[in-house]
Structure 1
Amino acid sequence: MIKGRVLALTSNFPRWREDSTTPFVLHLCRELQKIDWQVDVLAPHAPGAAKRGTIEGVRVERFQYMWPSSWQTVCYQGGAMGNLRRNKLNYLQLPFLLFFEWLSLRRKLLSGKYDILHSHWLLPQGFIGRLTASSLSIPHIITIHGGDIFGLKGGIFSRTKRFALQGAAGITVNSSVTEKAVLKLVAKTSPVQRIPMGIKTRESPDFSGKVDELKGLYKKNGTPLLIFTGRLVEEKGVADFLTAIKILLADAVEVRALIVGDGQDKGDMEHLAEELGIADNVVFTGWQPSELIPCFLAAADIFVGPSRTAANGWVEAQGLTFVEAMMAGTPVIASNVGGIVDSVYHEKTGLLVEERNPAQIAQAVKRLLSNSSLRAHLQKNGREMAENNFSRRASALAFDTLFSKVMQCRN
């Protein structure tokens, strides 16, 4: 029996199977369907994507906001904020994106098919969601992922965020730092609940074989393999990772680095590796399917996540990759910023270093390579923490409780 019908409004959803777009919204929708919620998705269209379709059992409709479709360049490919920074002309598309998102959402909600609207990201979805849902008396839940609360600060943006939040039947955040930022905008009595996004906690049947294959490809003569996975953008700190590799090699600590992911700074990072003279020790794999990321992580000896606070105030709100590394049994070195500290506890589930400090990263690598008992300690505690607190099912069950409560209040 269906518990209720939910429409998820998002600007970040896989455009097709095995897309490079981060799939955590898809994973949440799929897990909710397993526990008897009907979840449909409304997202912006993108060149090459179907207007309507189903991905992993989740129905999605994509609204077009520019004609021809090739002109749609605000969303996807690194996210709206990155696309706006990279090309200021993308700002000209924003009025069309907002209008057609509102129009498409209103049409969907007027169909009478949905009991709850679930907006992912505060801007623009939370704002558009409040405008539409409140006029139709449909409960509105906003999930804040981080970049939406830390970016676009001050003036009209803060007032718009506050307007969206004040009308919500429920507000969820993914970490303590995100919650703190939200509570600066709304009263402490607001319905804010911390629900981190979840990760896969079961290994695929061919997991061990794939890990061995990757070790054969990338580990040479037993040389320790360090790994970064994520978007190649300035705030992820890949430049600090590369500089740390140079420091290690200069200190006669032989290591190899694997950089898994894509992004607008990939070319710059490849050039930096050449400039630093470490290109022979660094492999850029490009984008990899999400189901292979745990295999890459398990094939490595140490995961390094050197995230930085960006000039616009962005910080790593949660950092699923850090938890994925723990789940894969790979010791973690991470920057002591943002929501990372909700999962990486210094000397318990990982090692924390100062942001923008390659020397500390190099020192932490040396410490782990020379101390097998510390590595084992971090691996054990990290895996237990990931399994107990960050599974996709645990995340879905928390949303299940929230949705049920909202449904009861409505009835």
Structure 2
Amino acid sequence: MPRSSCSWEGAEALWITAAGWASAAKRNLGDAVVVTSDKIAAPHEVWNYPLLPDKNGKAKRRKFSLVPAFLKILINDLFTWWNLKNWKVLENLNLEGRKPAFIWEKHDLFVGPGKSLATKYNVPFISYVHAPVVWEASKWGVKRYWWGKWLESVEARNLKKADLVAVVSEEVKQKILQMGISEEKILISPMAVEPELFAHTKASELRNRLNLTGKTVIGWTGSFRKFHGLDHLIKAFKEVSDQSPETILMLVGDGSERKDCEELVRKLGIQEKVIFTGRIQFSNIPKYVSLFDIAVVSARSGEGFHYSPLKLREYMAAGKAVLAPNAGEIPENFEDENVLKLFNSGDINSLAEGMCFLIKEEEKRKIIAANGKDKILKTSTWDIELKKALEYLEKNK
């Protein structure tokens, strides 16, 4: 992972991906480690990354926040590049004479030492791409002005060095092709799930503590970011709770939009119906998901939806009825009213109708949940994604 163990706060899915691949590699190949610029960790340790910075780090971020937006982005890019110059931690990487099966690296703005390690050990190099960094950031309104095109060309050069470029969705693949990467190198490898973490979890004590007995719990997990459209989810839930008073909305996570969401909840007068849990370590997320009756994947818009939602697979593995947007890869890979229920992205009424459907049609909800769990456990685990990559590498020796 080409950053420190404290990086990507609010983007825990990046660490979960690394932990998932490493855990699958340990089971199937004998061992695996996750190397960051400051640590070497066993796969099970990485499930709870990022390690939160100390108070001094937070104070520096507050001071840094006073810098104009474009300059802050440029400084962040320079810091990202500079921090990759020192990987002394690799001196502690002892393979005890063993040769790795491959080197896997999460694609970033600048590469880590993955390619050089792969060359050193003469093994394949896999670059895993959630999304090209400059392209994805531009979707969020991050403007890099004159240096953006240059950075994207740097990303492209680095991707061309990989033996396999694993991407999470068809839309990401199309962008990678536009950047000049050969199609023969590209493998679509969606986000997956660690079934042992989600498939059998119970949390009766937590249910009692949160006073959820007899309630229908609609739940969501993730980072509070604008593109998730949590204001839409809250407004839709207000309509639902007016019709079904015994419903509770549980929002698990934290982020920049949380205060606005809390204010919206107060404005709508549904404080008693909405639970904000705050940041929860990933290893404890399955306990909260086990409380859900209906699990929501939210999205403000379906336009440019290039994600492969991690939470969707986790909800399904936990045996929950999922309500998800009709966007991106989702409608192509998951059949509506069979393994999940779809709603129209950005449409609050459609979102509310989907929730009402799953509340009222309890038997249908159970069928959808059971079908979804069966599909995910058969098609969407990290072991399956690892096997796909290994088969590709074997075929293209």
Q: Tell me which amino acid in the other structure corresponds to 2:186.
A: V
Question: For residues 57 and 387 of structure 1, do their structure 2 counterparts lie closer, same or farther at Cα, with a shift above 3 Å needed?
Answer: closer
**Does residue 200 of structure 1 match 2:194?**
yes
**By how many angstroms is 1:373 displaced?**
3.1
**By how many angstroms is 1:228 displaced?**
0.6
Using the size of structure 2 for normalisation, the TM-score is 0.78
Using the size of structure 1 for normalisation, the TM-score is 0.75
**By how many angstroms is 1:198 displaced?**
2.6
Provide the secondary structure at the position in 2 that maps to 1:226: strand
Provide the secondary structure at the position in 1 that maps to 2:285: helix
Determine which of 315, 318, 338 is the counterpart of 1:325. 315
- Rounded to whole Å, the distance in 2 between the matches of 1:329 and 1:259 is 18
For residues 274-324 of structure 1, give each alpha carbon's deviation from its aligned partner in whole angstroms, at most 9, with x where no partner exists.
1222111100011223233223222211111112349xx873511111111
- Rounded to whole Å, the distance in 2 between the matches of 1:392 and 1:89 is 36
Question: For residues 405 and 108 of structure 1, do their structure 2 counterparts lie closer, same or farther at Cα, with a shift above 3 Å needed?
Answer: farther
- Rounded to whole Å, the distance in 2 between the matches of 1:85 and 1:315 is 29
Match of 2:281? 289
**By how many angstroms is 1:136 displaced?**
9.9
Is the contact between residue 169 and residue 306 of structure 2 (CA under 8 Å) also seen in structure 1? no
Q: Tell me which amino acid in the other structure corresponds to 1:235.
A: F
Most deviating of 35-44 and 360-369: 35-44
**By how many angstroms is 1:53 displaced?**
4.8
- Rounded to whole Å, the distance in 2 between the matches of 1:205 and 1:228 is 17
Q: Tell me which amino acid in the other structure corresponds to 1:294.
A: P
- Rounded to whole Å, the distance in 2 between the matches of 1:14 and 1:55 is 16
Match of 1:124? 110
**Does residue 234 of structure 1 match 2:226?**
yes
Match of 1:29? 22
**Does residue 41 of structure 1 match 2:41?**
no
Is the contact between residue 119 and residue 141 of structure 1 (CA under 8 Å) also seen in structure 2? yes
- Rounded to whole Å, the distance in 2 between the matches of 1:328 and 1:204 is 5
Provide the secondary structure at the position in 2 that maps to 1:258: strand
Match of 2:126? 141
Unaligned 5+ segments in structure 2 are: 50-54, 139-147
- Rounded to whole Å, the distance in 1 between the matches of 2:31 and 2:228 is 35
Determine which of 148, 155, 171 is the counterpart of 1:161. 155
Question: For residues 398 and 119 of structure 1, do their structure 2 counterparts lie closer, same or farther at Cα, with a shift above 3 Å needed?
Answer: same
Is the contact between residue 35 and residue 41 of structure 2 (CA under 8 Å) also seen in structure 1? no
Match of 1:54? 41
Matched length? 370
**By how many angstroms is 1:244 displaced?**
0.6
Match of 1:300? 292
- Rounded to whole Å, the distance in 1 between the matches of 2:359 and 2:59 is 47
Question: For residues 148 and 243 of structure 1, do their structure 2 counterparts lie closer, same or farther at Cα, with a shift above 3 Å needed?
Answer: same
**Does residue 395 of structure 1 match 2:363?**
no
Provide the secondary structure at the position in 2 that maps to 1:293: helix
Match of 2:145? none
- Rounded to whole Å, the distance in 2 between the matches of 1:287 and 1:136 is 39
**Does residue 374 of structure 1 match 2:364?**
yes
How large is the RMSD of aligned CA atoms in angstroms?
4.0
- Rounded to whole Å, the distance in 1 between the matches of 2:152 and 2:234 is 36
Match of 2:72? 89
Is the contact between residue 191 and residue 309 of structure 2 (CA under 8 Å) also seen in structure 1? no
- Rounded to whole Å, the distance in 1 between the matches of 2:131 and 2:76 is 23
Q: Tell me which amino acid in the other structure corresponds to 1:232.
A: F
- Rounded to whole Å, the distance in 2 between the matches of 1:381 and 1:220 is 25
Q: Tell me which amino acid in the other structure corresponds to 1:378.
A: I
